[in-house]
Every structure is written in C-alpha cells, then in structure tokens.
Structure 1
Amino acid sequence: SSHKIREAIADEGALAVIPSKSNAKKQIPHDKNLYAMRNIVERFFCKMKDMRRLATRFEKKGANFLNMLFLFSIRCWIN
C-alpha cells in the first residue's frame, strides 16, 4: 500500500484497489466492492495453480493452453 506501488499501478493505467492499513495516519479511500471482486480473481488463480498441468504449462502451444484454461474454468463453474 505504499505510495510507490500506487504510482506504478497508475502509470500502467490501472486503478489501485488497495485498502490502507488500519493504523495509517492518512486513510486512502478504496472501492470495497471492487476489492471484493479482486479477491475472487486472486482465489481463482490460486486454484488454477493447484492444477499441475496449468501451473507447469504442459501445453506449449498457446491454443492448447487456452483450451485447458477453458476446461478448468468450466470445471470450477460446475462445482
């Protein structure tokens, strides 16, 4: 949540959705709904890394790797 990290994110054209520490002198506002959605995305990638085939990138061709991502996404959606 440092100023340098926020600047780097802004330089990339993205919005920093990082909550301030509870003991920070200057609280920087953030969108709590957007932060909750970010958490969902991070948990998805964590689950994806549990699938060894995706984590080690067995599929070397981009099209095959994308198809494996689709299959993984469908499997997560069904569960």
Structure 2
Amino acid sequence: MQGIPPKTNCREPIPRDFRRYRDRNRIERMYGQPKQFRRIATRYDKTALPFASFLSFAAIRKWLPHFVNAA
C-alpha cells in the first residue's frame, strides 16, 4: 500500500504506521459522507433533536440501497 511519498531531499526515511494511516483515512471519509447533505454541513437545525433526526435520515438514505439490493 502506498502512502504519502517523502520529500526528495529527505535524508532519513520517516517511519510511518500504514495501518494507522489507513484507519484515519476511513474515519475521515466516514465523517465526510454526511457532510454531503447541505443541511448537515451548514447545520440549519438549531436544537439537538432535529439535527439528530436528520442525521439519522441521512444515514438511512445512504445505507438503504446496500440492504435493498442484497436481498
């Protein structure tokens, strides 16, 4: 697996934990997916209950096609 390449003028290679890099990337993508919904990204809802409700709705809308086509 390829990571971020080092600079060309780097004398010593910097040790990297590629598993940790991969896990961090997954988490960043997981939090980035709900932000595709404008209402969540801009946080139009002022109280916690409507925000959590729309977050649940966005998750259902994102994952529902995976379960419907599996049957």
TM-score above 0.5: yes
AA of the residue aligned to 1:22: P
The alpha-carbon deviation at position 38 of structure 1 amounts to: 1.6
Pairing 1:1-79 to 2, within 5 Å after superposition = 21-23=5-7, 24-79=10-65
The number of residues matched between the two structures is 61
- CA–CA distance in 2 between the matches of 1:71 and 1:59? 14
Structure 1 unaligned spans of 5+: 1-18
Larger Rg: 2
Identity between Structure 1 and Structure 2 (%)? 33
Cα RMSD, aligned residues only? 2.4
AA of the residue aligned to 2:17: D
Are the aligned partners of 1:54 and 1:69 in contact in 2 as well (CA < 8 Å)?
yes
- CA–CA distance in 2 between the matches of 1:25 and 1:78? 50
